[in-house]
Structure 1
C-alpha cells in the first residue's frame, strides 16, 4: 500500500511545481536596439551665413595697348610697379613714323611757299585787272590757284598733325595712377594696333569677385552688407557691399559672378589676395537634410514625408511630419518643420519603428542651413 502511495506523492509534487512555475511572471522579451547615425539641427542664427571664396581685384582696370602697329623696343615696367599719370610704360620703333612726319613737314613748307606765291600773284593781277590790262578770266584763274594752294596747305597741316600724333603713339603712357597687374609683351615683339600690352589697376577702389551657384542667387541682393575675411589675416574682418550681380550665368561653371566692393579696405589689402565672403541674409530659416533621412511609412504612404527624431532621455525614436522643398546638390533636400536642437536619424531610418530603442553611433556635422530672402 505504501509502495503505491510513493509514485502518487511524486506526481502530486511535480504538478505543484508546474503550477507555481506557470503563475510566476514571465520575463519581457528582449528588444532589438538598432544602431543609427544622428545629425543635429543647429540654431538658424549660428548657420545664417554661407562662405564663398574670392579674389581681391581692382574695380577699375585699364588694359593699355599701342594705337599704332610696330616693333616693341623697350618695356619700362614690370608687374607690381606703381605708375603715375603720364609714366612711359613701353615704346615701339618710331623710325618710320619720324620719316613720315619729316616728309610731311617738308611738303607743308613747300605748300606754304606756293600759297604765299599764289596770294601775291592774285594781288598783282587784281591791280592789272583794275587797269584793264588783263581779262577777268585771267583774274579768276589766279583766284582759283590761290584757293587750290590754300586747300593743299590745310590738307598737309592736318596730315602733319596726324603724323605727329602717331609718332607720339609710339610711346605707351599710363592714363591714370595705379599699379601694373599684367604685362603681355616683351622687347622685340611686333604688335598690332590695339593689342593688349600692359594692364594698370587703379588702387583707389578694390573689390572681391565671387561666384554663386544658382541655389544661392536668391539669398543675395545689391547693396547687401557682407562680412569679409582674408587668408593673410584671418582674425580681421572688413565690411563689404554687393556692388554688382551678373544677370547671366557663366556657360562653363553655371555660376553667377558677384562683385563685392570694399569701401573701407585697409591699406594692407592687396590685389590677388584670397578672401572669404560670408553672406548674412535675413528671411525664413530652412534646413537641408540628406535624402536618406526622409521616408514615408509603408503602412500609410499618403500621410506625407517624415523624419525620425531621437529622444535623449529614453534613447528612442519617433517620427514627425515635415514639409519638403526643392532638391539640392549632394543628395540633399530642403526641409521645413524642424526646431533647433532636434536630433535627426540620417542613417538606418527605413528599418525603424515608433518608440524603438536605438544606439547612436555619433553625431555628424550640424544640418546646413539656408537663408532665403523674404519675398
Structure 2
C-alpha cells in the first residue's frame, strides 16, 4: 500500500514538471525599440570648405596710361589709402596747368564785368556771358584735378595683396586689373550644401558653427552664417553657403586653404514628436508605426501623420506622442497583437 502511494506521488511530480509553462519571453519577437522624443534635437553636419577672403577686389585705373610706379608685391599688407600704383602724369599735369590758367583768366574777366555792369558801362548780357565762362572754366579745372587724381591708385581698404597682375612701365587700359586686394583677418568658409538639407532650410537654423582648417586640424574657429545662394551649381546640384569667421592673431589664414565646417542645426518644431524614418510603415499611401504596449509587449498598428524632416528623423504631427514606445527596426512579418521584446546582440 505504501509502495502504491509513493508511486502515485512520483507520477504526479513528473506530470507537473512536463506541464510547466515555457517562459513567455522566449516567444516574443526580438525587435529594435525606440521611445518617441521631441523632434527639436540638434544634429551636427560636416561640409568640406574652401577659405576665401571676406572681401576681395581687383583694383583698376579709370584712365589709360603707363605705370611708372608700383609700390607693392604679392603678400604685402597695406592700409587703406596707401598708394598702390601711379601712371605717367605728364599729360594730366599739363591739362591741369592749362585749366587753371583758363579759370584765372575767366575769373578776372568776370570781376571786371561785375564792376562795369554796376556803372552801366556794359550791357547785363555781357555780364551774364562772363559769369557763364567763369563757371565753365571752374568745372574744367575741377575735372582736370580729378583726372590727375585718377592716375594714382590707392587701397580702398586695409588688406593683403593676393596677386600683382601688372609690372612697372606696362601700359594699362581703363578697368584693367592691376592688383587683387583681399581683407586680412576676417575670412569666410565657402561650402556646398546638399538639396536634402536645403529643402528643410526653413525648419532648420544653425545653432553653432565652427571651421577646422586642414593646416590647423587641432584648432576650431567659431563661425557665423553669412549668405546662401538660391541657385544650385550645375555640376553637383548643391547650393553654395558662406560662413564668416575671425582667426585669432598669430594664425595665418590665407584664401585657398581648405578645411571642414562643422554646423549644428536645430528645428523650429522643438515640441513636435519625431520618429526614425525606418520606423514608418507605408500602406495604401498612408503611414503607420507599430506602437508597443509597455505592459504586455503587444504591438498595434497606429496611423500617423508625418511632416518633412532631415537627418533620418521625421516629425509626427498626429497619431503618437512623446514617450510612446514603437518598433524602429525588424518590422518584417509583424502582425497585429504580436508580442515583442528588445533586440539584444549576443
Shorter-normalised TM range: 0.5 to 0.7
Correspondence list, 1:168-317, <5 A: 168-180=149-161, 182-183=162-163, 185-187=165-167, 188=170, 190-193=172-175, 198-201=180-183, 203=185, 205-206=186-187, 213-220=198-205, 226-232=208-214, 233-236=216-219, 238-242=221-225, 249-252=230-233, 253=237, 255=239, 257=241, 259=243, 266-267=248-249, 268=251, 270=253, 272=255, 274=259, 275-279=261-265, 283-284=270-271, 287=274, 289-290=276-277, 293-295=279-281, 305-307=288-290
Instruction: Please tell me whether residue 85 in structure 1 is matched to residue 80 in structure 2.
Output: yes
Query: Tell me, what secondary structure is at the counterpart of 2:166?
Result: coil
Q: Does 1:69 align with 2:63?
A: yes
Task: Give TM-score, length-normalised by structure 2.
Answer: 0.59
Q: Deviation at 1:99?
A: 1.7
Task: Give, in whole Å, the separation in 1 of the partners of 2:201 and 2:109.
Answer: 79
SS of residue paired to 2:160: strand
Determine whether 1:109 maps to 2:104.
Answer: no
* Residues 185 and 197 in structure 1, CA contact (< 8 A), matched pair in contact too: yes
Flag the 1:234–1:153 CA change in 2: closer, same or farther, 3 A: same
Distance 1:89 1:120 in 2: 46
Q: Which runs of 5+ in 2 are unaligned?
A: 1-17
With the length of structure 1 as denominator, give the TM-score of the two structures. Answer: 0.55
Structure showing greater radius of gyration is 1
Distance 2:129 2:283 in 1: 101
CA–CA distance in 1 between the matches of 2:99 and 2:220?
Answer: 67
Distance 1:226 1:67 in 2: 42
CA separation in 1, counterparts of 2:200 and 2:73? Answer: 41
Superimposed CA distance per residue, residues 86-137 of structure 1 (whole angstroms, 9 cap, x where no aligned partner): 222344x445xx32441452354256357647867998xx7xxx9xxxxx7x
Cα RMSD over matched residues? 5.4
Report the 3-state secondary structure (helix = DSSP H, G, I; strand = E; otherwise coil) of the residue aligned with 1:112. Answer: helix
Alignment of 1:39-188 (within 5 A): 48-53=42-47, 54=49, 61=55, 63=57, 65-66=59-60, 68-70=62-64, 73=67, 76-77=71-72, 80-91=75-86, 93-94=87-88, 98-106=90-98, 108-109=100-101, 112-113=104-105, 116=108, 139-140=121-122, 144=126, 148=129, 151-180=132-161, 182-183=162-163, 185-187=165-167, 188=170
Task: Tell me, in whole angstroms, the C-alpha distance in 2 between the residues paired with 1:82 and 1:46.
Answer: 46
Contact 1:225–1:239 (Cα < 8 Å) also in 2: no
- In the alignment, structure 1 segments of 5+ residues that lack a partner are 1-23, 131-135, 363-375
Quick one: distance in 2 between partners of 1:82 and 1:163? 32
Contact kept? 2:85, 2:154, Cα under 8 Å: yes
Instruction: Judge conservation of contact 2:57–2:181 (CA < 8 Å) in 1.
Output: yes
* In structure 2, distance between residues paired with 1:280 and 1:269: 32
Q: What is the aligned partner in structure 2 of residue 8 from structure 1?
A: none
Distance in structure 1 (CA, Å) of the matches to 2:36 and 2:84: 56
